[in-house]
A and B are shown apart, each in its own frame.
Chain A
């Protein structure tokens, strides 16, 4: 494993741990305000001892908010990626199994989603329905399904003609068993690689929408939301934007590095 990959993996594990244990590590509650300590710099830049990364415009502890923001952003991205992966994989199986018109419909939807920038679709849906956490999560899930559907369909079509699948069928295994017990384990590594490649996009979609004020809503916080609100205080409190921005950047970068590495491991013929 190259040095950059292990470093990236370590960073991702750290983020995951922060997300899991946020209430235990955060020195303050993320909503605790202290108007006497507004816009104080990080303690290493001469700010108050208690606030390692400074405070924001309402005197809230930036480090605690950052920890909770990581929790929300990682959770939303994980859930969204999971929804997309399950939905897309299922539809890919359906398309490969049924062929015929349902395959046509699924592939048409795949083409359609690939042709429209998803940010626009998400904005339109949020405009019409208003924002709620559930709808937002669903949107994150729908964002990436088409890549899984396309990938799964192709892999299953190829796997169906493999001797092991033909053998299972000739022993009288039902389609569900052939797909679930025989084909799925054989294609799952490719799907996992797709998950790692798709995850940064989901993080960026969530943070972009939250940055625009149309994603995660206060009092909840997310990395994008923190960045969006810190923008107005750029001149007086750059720590409000720099830390969440750096976390988003490092997370997507690490995931891309790990994803590229995993893909190269899986398929040495792709030279990218």
Chain B
């Protein structure tokens, strides 16, 4: 693995994280006095003054910025309004639920999306291609919340087969997974199809064909490894987006994950929790992107050798 390539990617990730922290710092300061913002409405003025001192809000703005940075680095996001517990603790209780849902959705969508997209590409304009792509467009256009509600109506209210909300048994996962998985599988299938189509039109595939390489070998040995590069990129981005993307679905099914916590926190203006979740999601996205870059370099020897050359 090219060390230069990795370190550039790592530096970029750090810069992005710095931007996120700065962004939250700026909107926190723009929106008013953080001591009043981060403390509940009903606390006494003396307490606000105490915290203002303690948090250094009477200090110059650059010093506050550095302090804020340190607090973020230590994972100190402040305390939740609700029960006055550390925001980090409140958030981390919810992470396993979001991960459990997200990973199940991700694996299901990949297993469905990638093969069907590749199959559609190899049988272009066949009935199977049309059906797959129609499903992909439908899945992509269907709003999560509407699909979720329709599923609840059918499976919980009418048929009474599945629980409509909460977590606990595998049955609770079925509808959230369908809701999130449909759109994801659709977009993965669409992307896999176009990646595969593009590769199948390349000169080296035609060359392989003219050499008499058999169709299956052309597909598995010549085409797939090349199509894998763009597919891995997009799928990786989707992995990072899963935590954030589940916000709506978690709320439809009252799934006790980070997304539901976020919406409740926004509704209650529980800013300590909100800023913690923003940081968490940013960090997740960055780690996912970094993993994509590593996988990318591993899959594509050109990048491994040339270092950072992403077309910019």
Contact = CB atoms under 8 A, between A and B. Distances in A.
A119 B274 CA distance: 13
Interface of A: 107-108, 111-112, 115-117, 119-121, 123-130, 200, 204, 207-208, 211-214, 224, 227-228, 231, 234-235, 238, 241, 245, 248-249, 252-253, 256-257, 260, 270-272
Interface size class of B (residues with CB under 8 A): 35 or more
A253 B137 contact: yes
Given A124-B275, A128-B28, A245-B146, A212 B141 contact: no
B263 A208 contact: no
Interface in B145-174: 145-146, 149-150, 152-153, 157
Nearest to A124: B278
A247 B198 CA distance: 35
B247 A119 contact: yes
Contacts of B262: 120, 123
Interface in B12-26: 12, 15-16, 19-20, 24
Contacts of A212: 247-248, 251, 263
Contact of B267 (A117, A214, A224, A231): A214
Contact of B266 (A123, A248, A260): A123
B1 interface: no
Contact of B274 (A123, A130, A234): A123
A253 B142 CA distance: 8
B312 interface: yes
Interface of B: 12, 15-16, 19-20, 24, 27-28, 30-31, 37, 137-138, 140-146, 149-150, 152-153, 157, 190, 193-194, 197-198, 201, 240-241, 244-245, 247-248, 251-252, 262-263, 265-267, 269-271, 274-275, 277-278, 281-282, 285-286, 289, 312
A245 B265 CA distance: 26
Nearest to A126: B266
A27 B56 CA distance: 59
Contact of A252 (B141, B198, B286): B141
Contacts of A120: 244, 247, 262, 277-278, 281
Nearest to A122: B266
Contacts of B24: 124
Nearest to A114: B237
A108 B19 contact: yes
B27 A124 contact: yes
B190 A272 contact: yes
B141, B152, B153 interface centre (most CB from chain A within 10 Å) = B141
Nearest to B282: A116
A164 B210 CA distance: 42
B286 A115 contact: yes
B285 A117 contact: yes
Contacts of A241: 146, 149
A231 B248 CA distance: 13
Given A120-B262, A124-B278, A234-B153, 13 more contacts: A119-B248, A124-B24, A124-B27, A127-B265, A128-B274, A130-B269, A204-B143, A211-B145, A241-B149, A249-B142, A249-B143, A252-B141, A272-B194
A129 B141 contact: no
24 contacts: A115-B286, A116-B244, A119-B247, A120-B244, A120-B247, A123-B262, A123-B274, A126-B266, A127-B270, A128-B30, A128-B31, A129-B30, A211-B143, A224-B145, A234-B149, A234-B153, A234-B157, A238-B153, A245-B145, A249-B142, A253-B138, A271-B194, A271-B198, A272-B194
B153 A127 contact: no
Nearest to A214: B266
A227 B251 CA distance: 13
